[in-house]
Amino acid sequence: MQKSLERIKQMVIKEFIQILRDKRMKAIVFVVPVLQTLVFGFAVTTDVNNIPTAIMDLDHSFESRELVRRFASSGYFSIMATPTTPGDVREMLDRAAVSVALQINRGFSADLKKGIPAPIQVIADGTDSNTTTVAMDYAGRIIKKYSQDLAGPEVRSSARVDVRQRAWYNPELKSKNYNVPGVIAMVIMLTSLLLTSMAVVREREMGTMEQLMVTPLKPVELILGKTIPFAIIAFLDMTLITVLGVLMFRIPINGPLWLLPLSTAIYLLSVLGIGLFVSTVAKTQQQALMASFLFYMPAILLSGFMFPIENMPVIFQYLTYANPLRYFLVIIRGIFLKGNGFGILWPQMLSLFILGAAVLILSALRFRKRLG
Amino acid sequence: MKLLRIKAITKKEILQIWRDPLSLAMAFLMPVLLLFIFGYAITLDVNKLTTIVYDADQSSISRELTAELTASGYFTIVRAAENQREIDTYLDAGKARVAVSIPVDFAKTIASGGMAQLQVLVDGSDSNTATIALGYLSALMDIYGQRVTGGRSSPLIDSRVRVWYNPELKSRNFIIPGLIAVIMMVIAALLTSLTFAREWERGTMEQLIATPAKPPEVVLGKLIPYFLIGSIDMIISVLMAVFLFEVPLKGNVLILAVISSVFLFGALGLGIVISIVAKSQLVASQVAMVATFLPAFLLSGFMFAISNMPLPLQWFSRLIPARYFVTVLKGIFLKGNPVRILVFDAIFLLFFAVIVFIVANGKFRKKMV
Amino acid sequence: MPGQGARSSVLVNSTIAVSVRHLTRAFGDFIAVDHISLEVARGEIFGFLGPNGAGKSTTIKMLCGLLMPTRGSGTVDGYDIITGSEEIKQNIGYMSQKFSLYDDLTVEENINFFSGVYTVPEPKKEARKEWALEMAGLSDKRGALTKTLPGGYKQRLALGCAILHEPPILFLDEPTSGVDPISRRNFWNMIYEMARAGTTVFVTTHYMDEADYCDRLALIYRGKIIAEGAPNELRKNYMTRDVLEIEADHLVEAMEILEKQGIETAVFGSLLHATVEDAKAAVPVIYKTLGESNIMVRRVDKIVPSLEDVFVTLIEKA
């Protein structure tokens, strides 16, 4: 047993030396997660604001200008241009210089004074349907509010329904709160999966695998030696991202902190297992890279990371049960945003554990077979 | 530059690719897989929102409201709660994303002309879905509210909203054209980022640089086979988009082909630069992921509107070729844009391709160490 | 015309194929090649001998334009190794230490590749290919994947690929490493043929017994040339003393005892080589000294010093 641990230790050390000897790898291991966190925190926002807008005000009245002012100061619309002809408006939308155009025709103010409904055109570029839906909603609200304000207080007095809306867990609806914890899952998968599979195959490609097999090293020890370093790196990444998320993005951590490393460890069972599996299929590093990616992409997309699982067709929803990322995301978001504890999360953790153990064992068995 | 040399290098590279059928198969499988997932599985269209309703009033009005929710098609009522606490439980456990609480005196308050209050809670952790859900709700409530309170004079401002290019707002039409840009970038990264590094690791690069082969000849020789593969992937993607997913293709196919080729050249070139500089396959693969795939996926405007991002990132996205290609793709597919409008983006892509090629030649030293 | 400036007109038709002066290469603090100067005549087989790590590969790489010298200068085929490295590559053949062929290509495909890269003119292509296949003994194996070939064949194939374009100078870096002795012998026969046909061959090796195959040698140790000349010259000039071959038990012990007596001794396989001023006087001394320590001596013979002996002596002097 003693000797076994010693051999494993040696392998882990060797692996670390090999990886970190290359200065660039050192940078990559730490820079990549940070970069991803920053990008995901800042870029991946479905929060809609600053929509480039074009305003064509042909009326130039007090009322039309007031409406325009409300649009401009709403924070949702960013007035990019004031075209003067419908042709120009078309051009801007075609070129994607703006996503929304507001067209106020001559006679707007006159109609209002006469008490006739004054028409306004809101044109939205539907290519980004997501932004469009939200944009139209915002535009509609601004217009409605202005309309009510114009109508005056008398009309507003009678009975109506007052809807109080609140968003729980993420009251300001900041998408970064949603995304950044998920980045932990993503980064770990990308880095650990890729590194594990490529590190093993690299040994094979370079011919040193044979050399290892001639030693008293047992297959289990080899496996542990090859996976432990990347598990350690994964934990480092997890810590790095969490710290960055909390300090820079002020993501709340409402749940018990100790669950985080525990769940990460369970998650790693799957990730490393898959990495190991890929290494048994790939003969070259090129193949390892492509196979890892071929798994990684669907795993990310069909995990609930960016796209809610409930909206997917039923078949795909079933598929996600085999995706470790799915469970881990629920756990992570639960811990960060919802303040969920072990009591609520244990089913997820158990499922993740079973999945991970199964994958790892199967891969390890396959790995042993290939060695022998 | 000698054509004969380029031919020899291209032929060798093709033979090597051919003898690695697994990688080749994966190179063709990738776009199909991604398109499948994005076309069928993923949708940003928000509907079937799991909703829990606590109707304390149980009046005909409150039941009508609940029916309205279901009828809209956006909300799927998973539970009629029996008390307020159930709402908390459901939201916490994620069993419902929306919760509507109708107070016990709802109908009475309305009948007496007072202001009835409705409480709506939305799970904000997915802010996107939440925002849209709130939007639907407010629209629904507006209409319902008016009906219930006996209608009122029509609003003074009659806003007519029109949606251009993608009138049904099918998110698929929005996602798939941009996806093609991402696919191309990914393929380029995966295929070319290892090619130089591999030869360094195997020792054949040493032999190659001892020959009279010049850097442009080697770079081109290695690029051409992957260009062929990338082009095939491009064709597969466009065919799938148009015939399988029925994304409209309103613009000129020839222009699409030309601009795609320019983009592909640049993308492959970038992969090659990474491969030359990295010299180790492990490093190259990591850098490629971060430098090609991630920017293309996140910062190109393919899925996440650039205008929503903080300013520094918006400027940074101007450096990403995928951004321009996404604009071109959306322009050609959904808007039917003519060359006149596409020209600016196309020129940037050309620029990028040329610069990347020059950098590749500069970085490829025919020396060891 | 490109490259004209880099070529010294004086040396274009000269009889010198390779010349270097004070060639130096440092890697950080480590000086791999330390001020080497030498000349190789056209048509010569020049051997660069030394143990591993002596600087052979580094030198040959500088000559082929694969590495930049830290200091010093040189010309290959009249072209400057610093400014004319690309021209040099047109006119030489190079075989790297790992015989870098493309393992996933067939024998024929490898030949076609190098043929194309060296732009062997169309009319000659087929002929050169057949010649290379013939020389390597792979005519009926042309469709075999290179990775399936045994070491000896790979070696000959690599050589063939290096000379498809009939270069005037050939650089071979440890071409016989890890190859069986019979293949090694055959390989050298091929090199002889080429030299006779006028090709200059610059070879590095750590096999001392291959030294006799060369016209001239340079012995390199720790980056410096410690001896230079034809094999027999080296033997004559550097071995002023006699060498005795001793067969005895307890080799290491025996060696230590003799050393204590002031007799230079080294282990050569299962024998001892002792270098002495006068063989006749030394023989009885050896018998007596070893006998006193109860070591059985089976024989002591005077032998012709091998280059290895020369080398060992020189190293000990250095």
Over A250-303, what HEC string results?
CCCCCCCCCHHHHHHHHHHHHHHHHHHHHHHHCCCHHHHHHHHHHHHHHHHHCC
Contacts (Cβ under 8 Å, ≥6 apart) of A277: A359, A362, A363, A366
CATH of domain B49-148: 3.40.1710.10
Domain at C4-235, CATH homologous superfamily: P-loop containing nucleotide triphosphate hydrolases (3.40.50.300)
Which bin fits B250, alpha (ψ -120 to 50), beta or left (φ > 0)? alpha
Q: Is the pLDDT of residue C183 over 90?
A: no
Closest residue to B212, CB basis, from C27, C90, C103: C90
Q: Which chains touch B (3 or more CB pairs under 8 A)?
A: A, C
> Chain B contacts of C113, Cβ < 8 Å?
8-9, 11-12
Taking a C-beta distance cutoff of 8 angstroms, is the pair B128, B137 a contact? no
Buried b (16+ CB within 10 A) or exposed e, B294-320: bbbbbbbbbbbbbbbbeeebbebbeeb
According to CATH, where is 3.40.1710.10 located in chain B? Answer: 49-148
pLDDT band at C180 (very low <50, low <70, confident <90, very high): confident
Q: Which chain C residues are closer than 8 Å to B4 by Cβ? A: 116, 119
Chains that touch C (3 or more CB pairs under 8 A): B
B365 touches chain C (CB under 8 A): no
Q: How far apart are CA A324 and CA A349, in angstroms?
A: 10
Mutating which of B5, B18, B206, B207 best tests the C interface, going by the most C Cβ atoms within 10 A?
Answer: B207
The residue of A88, A125, A129 whose CB has the most chain B CBs within 10 angstroms, and thus the best one to mutate to test that interface, is A129
Q: Which of C60, C117, C146, C159 to mutate to test the interface with B (most CBs of B within 10 A)?
A: C117
What percentage of chain C reaches a pLDDT higher than 90? 45
Record: contact B33-A294, CB cut-off 8 A: yes
Encoded amino acid at A123, one letter? I
Q: Do C98 and B5 touch (CB under 8 A)?
A: no
What pLDDT shows up at residue A295? 92
Q: Are A325 and A299 in contact (CB under 8 A)?
A: yes
Domain extent listing, chain C:
4-235, 240-317
Q: Which band of pLDDT confidence, cut at 50, 70 and 90, is reported for residue C39?
A: very high
| Cβ <8 Å between B141 and A163 | yes
Concatenated DSSP letters of A54-90:
EEEESS--HHHHHHHHHHHHTSSEEEEE--SSHHHHH
DSSP state of C304: P
Residues in chain B: 369
Residue numbers of chain A with a pLDDT score lower than 70: 45-47, 127, 129-130, 152-175, 372
In chain A, where does DSSP find H-type helix?
Answer: 2-21, 23-42, 62-73, 86-94, 108-114, 129-151, 153-156, 175-206, 208-214, 219-249, 259-281, 285-301, 314-319, 324-333, 342-371
* Domains of chain A with CATH codes: 2-44+174-371 (no CATH), 51-156 (3.40.1710.10)
* CB–CB contact C96 B210 (8 Å): yes
Give strand pairing partners of B76. Answer: B50
Tell if the CB–CB gap between C117 and B212 is shorter than 8 Å. Answer: yes
Q: For residue B152, what is the nearest residue in chain A, using CA coordinates?
A: A155
Q: 3-class SS at C122?
A: helix
Q: Return the pLDDT at C53.
A: 84
Predicted local confidence at residue A168, as pLDDT = 62
CB C136 within 8 A of CB C153: yes
pLDDT at site C223: 92
CA distance C263 to A326: 79
Find out whether C101 and C158 touch, Cβ atoms under 8 Å.
yes
Interface subset of C 85-104, CB within 8 angstroms of B: 85-86, 89-90, 92, 94, 96, 98, 100-104
Is residue C4 over pLDDT 50? no
Q: Do A160 and B281 touch (CB under 8 A)?
A: no
Segment 161-190 of chain B within 8 Å of chain C by CB: none
Q: List CB contacts (< 8 A) between A287 and chain B.
A: 20, 22-23, 26
List CB contacts (< 8 A) between B300 and chain A: none
Chosen from A154, A311, A319, A335 to mutate, greatest number of chain B CBs within 10 A: A311
Question: What's the order of all strands across the beta sheet hosting C200-205?
Answer: C92-95, C169-173, C200-205, C45-49, C216-221, C224-229
Asked if B303 and B151 count as a contact pair (C-beta separation under 8 A), the reply is no
pLDDT at C200 over 80: yes
Tell me, what's the pLDDT at B170?
67
Contacts of B134 in chain A (CB under 8 A): 165, 167
pLDDT(C75) > 90 = yes
pLDDT at C2 over 50: no
Residues of C in contact with B214 (CB under 8 A): 86
Nearest C-alpha neighbor of B220 from the set B16, B12, B30, B26: B12
Determine whether the interchain pair B207/C61 forms a contact, defined as Cβ–Cβ distance below 8 Å. no
**In the predicted model, is pLDDT for residue C9 greater than 60?**
no
Q: Which residues of B touch C61 (CB under 8 A)?
A: 368
For the domain made up of C240-317, the CATH class stated in words is alpha beta
Distance from the B200 Cα atom to the nearest Cα atom in chain C, whole angstroms: 11
Calculate how close chain A gets to B120, using CA atoms only, in Å: 5
Asked if the domains at C4-235 and C240-317 fall in one CATH topology, the answer is no
> In chain B, what residues touch A110 (CB-CB under 8 Å)?
none
Q: What are phi and psi of A115, to 5 degrees?
A: 85, 10
CB-based contact, A247 to chain B, within 8 Å: no
- B369 to chain C nearest CA, in Å? 7
Measured between CB atoms, does B235 come within 8 Å of chain C?
no
Are the CB atoms for B161 and A122 separated by under 8 Å?
yes
Instruction: Find the CB nearest B42 among A117, A291, A301.
Output: A301
B355 touches chain C (CB under 8 A): no
Q: Quick one: pLDDT at residue C234?
A: 84
Nearest CA in chain B to A198: B282
pLDDT band for position C82 (50/70/90)? very high
pLDDT score recorded for residue A165: 59
Closest chain A residue to B342, measured at CA: A95
Q: Going residue by residue through chain B (369 aa), what tens digit of pLDDT does each one get?
A: 889 999 999 999 999 999 999 999 999 999 999 998 888 887 766 777 889 999 988 888 888 888 888 888 888 899 898 888 888 888 877 788 888 888 888 888 877 767 777 888 887 766 667 777 777 777 777 777 666 666 554 555 666 666 666 666 667 777 888 899 999 998 888 889 999 999 998 889 999 999 999 999 999 999 999 999 999 999 999 999 999 888 889 889 999 999 999 999 999 999 999 999 988 898 898 889 888 888 888 888 887 778 778 888 888 889 999 999 998 998 899 888 888 888 989 999 999 999 999 999 999 988 887
Predicted local distance difference test score (pLDDT) of residue B216: 95
Inspect the interface and report whether the beta carbons of B16 and C64 lie closer than 8 Å: no
Q: Which of C61, C89, C103 faces B212 most closely, judged by CB atoms?
A: C89
Q: Predicted confidence band at C5 (pLDDT cuts at 50, 70, 90)?
A: very low
Distance from CA of A309 to the nearest CA of B (A): 8
Q: Chain C residue closest to B7 (CA)?
A: C116
